[in-house]
Amino acid sequence: MDFSETEALRQHLVASDSRYAELALEHKNYEQRLSQLASLTYPSVQEQLEESTLKKKKLYLKDQMESILRQYKQQAAAH
């Protein structure tokens, strides 16, 4: 599957799979907060900890989303 097909599948999953859509929304929210934190010139210790924690959570969500994507690709290949 090439990039455009994978991206099309992601868009389909956002629209049709509630779990995937929930993960994608949460991932987007983490990305927005991380962007805010990255723009801080002198983040506090608490903000640095939050950034580190959010990066880990975001990566975990991405792993879950990729797992769902792989399952759909395997199902499509089986048919």
Q: What is the pLDDT of residues 20-63, one digit of tens each?
A: 999 999 999 999 999 999 999 999 999 999 999 999 999 999 99
**What does the alpha-carbon distance between residue 9 and residue 33 come to, in Å, rounded to a whole number?**
26
1 band by pLDDT with thresholds 50, 70 and 90:
low
How many domains does the chain contain in total? 1
Residue 30 · residue 57 · CB < 8 Å = yes
Residue 12 has a pLDDT of 93
pLDDT value for 3: 77
> Does pLDDT of 79 surpass 80?
no
Task: Reply yes or no on whether the pLDDT at 69 is more than 70.
Answer: yes
In which domain, by residue range, is 47 found? 3-78
| Cα pseudo-dihedral 75, 10, 12, 55, rounded to 10 | 120
